[in-house]
Structure 1
């Protein structure tokens, strides 16, 4: 089989792919044949080195991502039927899509509210601890030893909780940042598939 027959049969076997993908594949194999001919093979030997066209096409289709094949088949199908199904299915798929979008927005709002809560917790413990420690020193002078000691002890406990909430805030914000990044990458991958 010569080069033109090989490329024509390969194009026919890959008809389920998009035209741009088929063109890239044909250009690639045309260059491979040229390279092998430069290395001393005849045209028939270079073509035969790839094996059968059907086996090669099957291997290429197996390596092609599933979504790319589905998109190519959808483009080659009956566009009128596809449009009719989209219109008739609108009452079903649109509310489901809106529900999924609302769920995603609700999840993001919840994550940001949780992050804000942890930050407010740190600020509140820190501020209350400083105020109680200052009040403890004032109470030593005005209300006596027991009252000052109680306020100072309360301030120390709140300061310890502020230190604990600092670590909780830093770790929690890092985890939430990673989770939000993963979630946004996942949503982006639903709308954008990389080509081979």
Structure 2
């Protein structure tokens, strides 16, 4: 397959996506092919090294914003017939409720994850503030009640140590949770594209 055939096939497979996304993807792979040709590869070898068009299309769709992907997949590819319009109108309470529930589930997952992250960092902040309060409180009481001062100061230092350790733990956990939500979003997107890509491959 040469460069022209590859780009033509890519454009055909991406039909239905926003025009700017199609052109951006084509330009990206055109530049990649040209770079490989400049490095000494033949045009056919450069195209082959890029990979399978269907895999590229699937990955491109996975990188699209979810709202863009939903609009693209929900937009009719052909003009609707009268009976199809009637069915859509009559079925509106059902399909709209399902769509709304689907969106709410996605938003609730994201809200839950970020609520956990914010809560954990709030706990770390509380420990750090407790440490500062303990240190300053212990120093303030040093000449009034030595035993109480040592207790307050020690408690503050313990809170500070726990807070520092917790900060690194919470940061690592937050990174993991963000990656997990990214994987979840890719899975949601795959629900919109897997069936269509498989259909195109089999046909």
**TM, length-normalised to structure 1:** 0.54
Unpaired runs of at least 5, structure 2:
1-11, 14-57, 59-72
Check the 8 A contact 1:118/1:168 in 2, yes or no.
no
Q: How does 1:170-181 map to 2 (within 5 A)?
A: 170-181=171-182
Q: Distance in 2 between matches of 1:110 and 1:90?
A: 29
Q: CA deviation at 1:135?
A: 1.5
Cα deviation per residue 1:21-45 (whole Å; 9 max; x = unaligned)? 7xxxxxxxxxxxxxxxxxxxxxxxx
Which of 111, 114, 118 is the matching residue for 1:112?
A: 114
Paired residues in the alignment total 125
Deviates more, 1:186-195 or 1:84-93: 186-195
Q: CA deviation at 1:138?
A: 2.0
Q: CA deviation at 1:192?
A: 4.2
Q: CA deviation at 1:82?
A: 3.7
Cα deviation per residue 1:28-77 (whole Å; 9 max; x = unaligned)? xxxxxxxxxxxxxxxxxxxxxxxxxxxxxxxxxxxxx9xxxxx9xx979x
User: Between Structure 1 and Structure 2, whose CA radius of gyration is higher?
Assistant: 1
Q: How does 1:4-83 map to 2 (within 5 A)?
A: 79-83=81-85
Q: CA deviation at 1:178?
A: 0.5
Q: CA deviation at 1:90?
A: 1.7
Cα deviation per residue 1:153-187 (whole Å; 9 max; x = unaligned)? 21022112202321331122111111121122223
With over 3 angstroms needed to count, the CA separation of the structure-2 counterparts of 1:184 and 1:75, relative to structure 1, is closer
SS of residue paired to 1:140: coil
In structure 1, the partner of 2:105 is 103
Q: CA deviation at 1:98?
A: 0.3
| 1:168 and 2:185 are equivalent in the alignment | no
In structure 2, the partner of 1:128 is 130
In structure 2, the partner of 1:94 is 96
Unpaired runs of at least 5, structure 1:
1-19, 22-64, 66-70
> RMSD over aligned Cα, in angstroms?
2.9
**TM, length-normalised to structure 2:** 0.52
